[in-house]
Amino acid sequence: MPKTPTDICIAYFSRSGHSKHLATKLAAELHAEQIEIINPAYAGPILGYMRAGYDSLRQKSALRSQQNVSFGGFGHVILVGPVWTSFPAVPLREVLRSEGDLPQAVSLFLTSGGQSSPEKAFETAVSDLGRPLVATGFLPNSAEGSEEEDLIIARFLPELKEPEALSVRS
C-alpha cells in the first residue's frame, strides 16, 4: 500500500553525485519532492572543484544559486549536500542564509569524501539559519550503497517525526 505524500521537500546540491544519490534515496523513502540546487560556478571536474574549495574557505560565493527555488507550501525542507572545508557546501549555505520562504522545519543531511567532521558544518548551518535544525545526518561517501548507509538513514528518519514536520498535504 503506497504511503500518503507528505509536505517534505528534499533540496540537494551535488557536485559529484554522492549527495544526489542520498537525496534520491531519502525522497523515495519519504515520498518527498526533490529540488536540485544549481550553481554553475562549481561545475567541471578541476576548476569547479578548485572554485568550490576557494569559496568555501572564504565562506561566500561569487555567484548565487538559482534564484527561483521556492519552498512555499512545504512544511519541512531537508537540505542534502557535501561538506566543503568543514562547512556545508556554499550553495547549501546560500539557501540557509536566504530570506526566502524556508519553513520552520529545516533539516540537514551531509555527505563527505574526506576526513571532515560534520559537527562544525552543523554548527555553521545553525548559525546561518538562525535557529535549530530539526534533524541532522552525515553519510561518508565510502558508505554509499552499503548496509552502513541504510543504518545511517534509518537513524535519521525518526528525528523527522515531529507532528508539524510530517503533516500530510491537504
- Structural domain spans, the chain: 8-160
Q: What is the pLDDT of residues 5-62, one digit of tens each?
A: 468 999 998 878 899 999 999 999 999 999 998 877 777 677 666 666 667 666 666 5
In this prediction the pTM is: 0.82
Measured CA angle at 137 (ends 103, 149), to 5 deg: 130
Grid cell locating 29: 523513502
Strand partners, 130: none
Q: Are 73 and 7 in contact, with CB atoms under 8 Å apart?
A: yes
Which CATH number applies to 8-160: 3.40.50.360, 3.40.710.10, 3.30.2290.10, 3.60.15.10? 3.40.50.360
How far is Cα 64 from Cα 68, in angstroms, rounded to an integer? 11
Average pLDDT of the chain, as a whole number: 82
Alpha helices in the chain (DSSP H): 18-30, 47-58, 90-97, 118-129, 147-156
Q: How far is CA 25 from CA 29, 98, 106, 129, in A?
A: 6, 26, 18, 25
Q: What is the pLDDT of residues 118-136, one digit of tens each?
A: 999 999 999 999 999 999 9
